[in-house]
Amino acid sequence: MLLGGGAGVGIVLAARSLRGTAGPTTPSWMRRAAVSGPQLFAGGVGAVVALVLTRWPVAVVAGGLLGIEALTLLGARERRNQDAARSEAVASWTELLRDTMGAAVGLEQAIRSTAVIAPLGIRPQVRSMVARLEHERLAPSLAALAQDLADTTADLVVTALILAANGEAQDLGELLGSLAEAARDSATLRLRVEASRARIRTSVRIIASVTVGMVILLVVLNREYLRPFDSIGGQAVLGIVVGCWITALWWLMRMSRFTSPERFLTGSGEQRSTA
Give exposure, 152-177, as e/b (b: 16+ Cβ within 10 Å).
Answer: bbbbbbbbbbbbbbeeebeebeebbb
Residue 9 to residue 140: CA distance in whole angstroms: 41
Residue 174 to residue 161: CA distance in whole angstroms: 12
pLDDT score recorded for residue 15: 66
Give me the residue spans of the domains in the chain: 83-188+264-274
pLDDT surpasses 70 at 242: yes
Average pLDDT estimate for 151-162: 84
**Which tens digit of pLDDT belongs to each residue from 200-225?**
878 888 888 888 888 889 888 888 88
Give exposure, 90-100, as e/b (b: 16+ Cβ within 10 Å).
Answer: bbbbbbbbbeb
Using an 8 Å Cβ cutoff, are 181 and 190 in contact? no
Using an 8 Å Cβ cutoff, are 46 and 1 in contact? no
pLDDT score recorded for residue 270: 41
Question: pTM of whole model > 0.95?
Answer: no
DSSP state of 118: S
Closest CA to 145 of 136, 155, 134: 155
pLDDT score recorded for residue 24: 41
Residue 261 CB contacts under 8 Å (≥ 6 apart), including other chains: 152
Residue 30 CB contacts under 8 Å (≥ 6 apart), including other chains: 19, 20, 22
Residue 167 CB contacts under 8 Å (≥ 6 apart), including other chains: none
**Which tens digit of pLDDT belongs to each residue from 220-240?**
888 888 888 889 998 999 899
pLDDT score recorded for residue 127: 92
Confidence of residue 169 (pLDDT cuts 50, 70, 90): low
How high does pLDDT run on average in the chain? 77
pLDDT exceeding 70 applies to what percent of the chain? Answer: 76
Residue 119 to residue 149: CA distance in whole angstroms: 13
* C-alpha distance across the termini of the chain, in Å: 56
